[in-house]
Structure 1
Amino acid sequence: MRECANHFLAGEILPVIKLEAMEPYEMGLAIGKRFSAMIERRLEQDPLVRSQLVPFSRTSDGEQLVDDLSATNRNAFPRYWDELRGIADGSGASFLELLLLNLRKEIFPFLPTEVAKARDVNLEAVECSDILVCRPDLTVVAHNEDADVSVEGHAFLLHAVLPHGVSFFAYTYAGELPTCAFGFNSFGVAFTLNAVPLAPSETVRGGVGRNFVSRDLLEAKDFTDALKRIQNPTLSAGHCYNLLDINAKMIFNVETASKQRFTYLQISEAPYFHANMYLRLDVSQVSNDSSLHREKRAAEMPKNSLEEILAVLGDGSDELYPIYMAGPKLCTLVTVVFDASSRTMTLYHGNPAKSSTLQLEISLDSV
C-alpha cells in the first residue's frame, strides 16, 4: 500500500472494516453495529427517504408497491434480505427506512406526479463516469463515484470473507447493501456501476432491485456467471455495469433494462467513455444534459495513458456539467482505478488529476 494510505486506514477519510466467516444476518448485524451513527446521519440527511418515501409507503398504493418489492426481492435473494435485516437490527434503524433507501430507484417512477414535482424528484441519472481501456500495456477500468452531497462522509470499505468460499472488497454506502458503487472479489471479478435513466413507463412494478443485483454480483465466479446474475429476468428497471475479468484481462460494458433487455460490448484498445445514459440499448430514457456534456468533453480529450485518463476524470472545465463534480448538488466522492496489469485497485480522494490527491492502493490478490 502507498504510504499516504494510512489516512484512509486510520478512518480519517474512509473507514475500513473486515468481517470473516459470518452468515448473512450476522454480517449485517456487525455492519449495523459498527456504523450505526453513520447510518442514522445518512437517514437524517437524505433528501427523500423520510420526507417523501416513508409517507408514500403509508398510502394504499405505496404500501402495495413496497409489499410487492419486498416479496420479489426476499424470494429472489433471501441471504441478502437477511443481511439487510441484520444491518437494521444492528444499527437500530427502521427496517422500512433501509428498505426504501435500497429500493428508492425502483419506487421513484411510481410516485404520484404532483408529489414528485413538489419534492423535485430528479428521474435523470446523473451519477458516475467511467473510462474503459483494454490493450496489452493498459487494461483499466477508471470510475468517478458521484452522488448527492448528502451522501458525503457516509461510506466505508467492506472486506468480507464469507463462509462459502468467496471474499470481496466493496465500497459501501451506510444503510445500503454492498455495493451500489464498485468492488472486486476473490474469483477475479471487478466492477463499477453507472446509473441509467430508464423512462418511468419502462419500469416494471415490484420487480428485482438493482441494489440486490449488485450485491449478488460480488459473488460472481467469472464473466459468464456475472453476466447471468446481471441478466435477471425480473428486473424492475435497468443499470449499466463495467466488468473486469482480472485474470483474463478482459473488460465488458453491459447495459440492462427491464423486460429481459440487455446488451454487452467487449472493450478493445479504443478508450470507451460511459456516463449516465444508455448508449447502445434501444429503450426509452429520460434526457440527461449532464451525461451529454460529459460525453462531449471526454471525446475532446486524449485518453491514451493512465495520466490522461485521470485528467479526464478530474476535468472541471464545463462549469455547469463537469466530469469531476464538486457541488453544490452533486460531488465526486472518490475515483477508483482497477488495473489488471498491476493487479491493483487504487482509490483517489480528491481530484485524481492532481498529484497531491490522497491515494489508497489495494492489491486485487488481497482477498
Structure 2
Amino acid sequence: MLKLIELSGSPFQIGQTLGKFGAQAAHSYLIKSPSWHSVMAWRGSAAAKAMADLTEQHFPGIRQELLGLADGLQLPPDDVFLWNCRGDVWSMSPDGCTTVQLPLSGGPRITHNEDGDPGFAGHCGLGLFAPSVGPRFASFLYPASIPGHTFAVTAAGLAMTVNNLRSRQVAIGLPRMVLTRALLNQSAVQDAIGVLRGAPRAGGFHLSLAQRGLPELYSVEFNAMGVSAQAIRQASLHANHVIHPGMAGFPQVVTDSSLHRQQRGDALLDGTQTDPLAILADQSNREFPIYRDASDDSDNENTMATADIHVGADRVNWQVYERPGRPPRYTLADADLA
C-alpha cells in the first residue's frame, strides 16, 4: 500500500522525517542489496567529494536535507549522499519509468509509470511537503532518497515526471537527483530549464514539464554533455534512453526493456490507442512489458505506481494509481498544497 506522509519544517527536519519513513526498508533490504554495494564502491572517491562540495556550494538547503535524511535513517551521511548519486556513478541503477505526454487543447496531460527496485514494493509513499523555505509540493517517495526524481506537483502549479537515463559519460558536477530536487523550488518551467542549463551536471534524466496556465508541454533530456528541451506538439512516449536528435551520439546504455517499451508505446500512439492509462498498463510483450510486475524483470524494476496529471488553465488535477484497472489510491490538486 502506498503510504501518505506529511513533512514540514527546515530542510534538516524534512530530511529527518524522510529518513524515519524509509529506515525500516533501508536496514532490512537496501543496505544488503547488490545495488547498494555497487554504489558504495565509490566511497571516499574524489568524485563523491566533489559532488558533495558542489551541492553545498549551489544548494545548501538540499545538502541539509540529505544530512537530515542520513540522521533519520541512522546511516553514515557520506553513504546516504552517495546513494543519492547512484545514477551519476553507476549507469545500471534500478530506476526506470515510462511517460506518455499528451499536448491537449485543455492543457497538457502527463501520465507516468514509476518503475523502481521491486525490493521497495510496499515501502514507498506519497509525500506532502510544507518546507519552511520554498514552495509546498507533493512527490512520490522511495526509502533513503530525497524527493523530486520521480513524479511531483508543486503549489506553484509546476508538474514534473522523471525518467532514468543511463549515460555512459558523466562528469564532475551536481548529482542529477539534487538538480531535480532543486527544480521543485522553481515557480515556472522556464526557470526550471534554466537551472539545468546553468548548472554543472554529473548524470542525466529525462523530464516531462508543464505549468498551470500555460499550454506548453516540454520534454527535457539532460546529461553531463548537454540539455535538450523540446515542446511536445503531438502525443509522445518516453522510456529510459535519449531520443532527442540534439542529444544523439552521446554514449548511453539502452536496455532491451527500454527499447521495447519505447517501440511498443510509439506503435500504440500511432495506432488507435489514445488512452495513456491503457498504454501504460500494456503487457502484450510478456518479456518486455510497459507495465512491469515480473519477479524476473530484465532490468530488475517493477512499476510502483502510476500518476495521471492534468495541467489546466487554473489548476493541476492528478490521480495516483497502485494497479491498472483499479480506482486511484489518491486524487489531488495543486490547490490542496496551498
| CA separation of 1:70 and 1:139: change in aligned 2, threshold 3 A | closer
Q: Which moved more, 1:69-78 or 1:318-327?
A: 69-78
The offset of 1:311, in angstroms, is 0.9
- Selected match of 2:38 from 40, 52, 55: 52
Are the equivalent residues in 1 in contact too, given 2:134–2:185 (CA < 8 A)? no
Q: For the pair shown, which has the larger CA radius of gyration, 1 or 2?
A: 1
Higher mean C-alpha displacement, 323-332 vs 88-97: 88-97
Find the counterpart in structure 1 of residue 184 from structure 2. Answer: 218
Letter in 2 for 1:266: A
Query: Any conservation in 1 of the 2:159–2:311 contact (CA below 8 Å)?
Result: no
Partner of 1:97: 79
Aligned counterpart for 1:344 among listed residues 307, 317, 322: 317
* 2:330 matches 1:365: no
1:137–1:102 distance in 2 versus 1, CA, 3 Å: same
SS in 1 for 2:305: strand
Q: CA deviation at 1:255?
A: 0.9
1:258 paired residue among 207, 212, 224: 224
Q: What is the SS of the residue equivalent to 2:304?
A: strand
Does the aligned pair in 2 maintain the 1:155–1:174 contact within 8 Å? Answer: yes
CA distance in 1, matches of 2:126, 2:203: 27
Superposed CA deviations along residues 217-276 of structure 1, whole A, max 9, x for unmatched, are: 1111101111112224310122111001122232100111213x11111122x2111111
Q: How does 1:161-172 map to 2 (within 5 A)?
A: 161-172=130-141
How many angstroms apart in 2 are the aligned matches of 1:46 and 1:190?
32
Kindly provide the CA deviation profile for residues 275-309 of structure 1, in whole angstroms up to 9, marking residues without a partner as x. 11111112222233222211221122248999721
Aligned counterparts of 1:239 and 1:53: Cα–Cα separation in 2: 18
Matched, 1:41 2:28: yes
Cα separation, partners in 2 of 1:54 and 1:263, compared to 1, 3 Å: closer
Distance 1:239 1:35, change over 3 A: closer
TM alignment of 1:1-367, pairs within 5 A? 13-20=1-8, 22-49=9-36, 51-57=37-43, 62-108=44-90, 122=92, 127-137=96-106, 139-199=108-168, 202-204=169-171, 206-259=172-225, 261-268=226-233, 270-280=234-244, 281-282=247-248, 283-302=250-269, 308-328=275-295, 329-341=300-312, 343-351=316-324, 354=325, 356-367=326-337
Residue 307 to residue 68, structure 1, CA distance change in 2 (3 Å): same
Deviation of the 1:139 alpha carbon: 2.6
| Structure 2 equivalent of residue 8 of structure 1 | none
Identity of aligned residues (%): 23
In the alignment, the residues of structure 2 paired with residue 16 and residue 90 of structure 1 have an alpha-carbon distance, to the nearest angstrom, of 18
Q: Residue type matched to 1:187 in 2?
A: A
Aligned residues: 328
| Partners of 2:319 and 2:328 within 8 A in 1 | no
> 2 CA distance for matches of 1:288 and 1:55?
23
Whole-angstrom CA distance in 2 between matches of 1:131 and 1:304? 14
User: How far apart, in 1, do the equivalents of 2:254 and 2:18 lie?
Assistant: 37
- Structure-1 separation of matches of 2:124 and 2:159: 19
Q: In structure 2, how many angstroms separate the alpha carbons of the residues matched to 1:194 and 1:248?
A: 23
Distance 1:326 1:34, change over 3 A: closer
SS of residue matched to 1:225: helix
Provide structure 2 residue ranges, at least 5 long, that are not aligned to the other structure.
Answer: none
> Structure 1 residues 14, 164: CA separation in 2 closer, same or farther (over 3 Å shift)?
same
The runs of 5 or more residues in structure 1 that have no matched partner are 1-12, 110-121
Could you list the runs of 4 or more consecutive aligned residues of structure 1 that deviate by over 6 angstroms after TM superposition? 303-307
Which SS does the other structure have where 2:201 is aligned? coil
In structure 2, the residue matched to 1:119 is none
1:163, CA displacement in angstroms? 2.3
Distance 1:318 1:92 in 2: 42
What's the C-alpha RMSD, in Å, of the aligned pairs? 2.3
Distance 1:232 1:207 in 2: 11
- 2:207 and 2:130 map into 1 onto residues whose CA distance is 23
Matched residue type, 2:259: L
Cα 1:175–1:137 shift into 2, 3 Å: same
The TM-score with structure 2 as length reference comes to: 0.89
Conserved? CA contact 1:28–1:87, under 8 Å = yes
Q: Secondary structure at the match of 2:34?
A: coil
Tell whether the 8 Å contact from 1:271 to 1:304 is kept in structure 2 after alignment: no
In structure 2, relative to structure 1, the CA distance for the partners of 1:74 and 1:334 (3 Å cut) is same
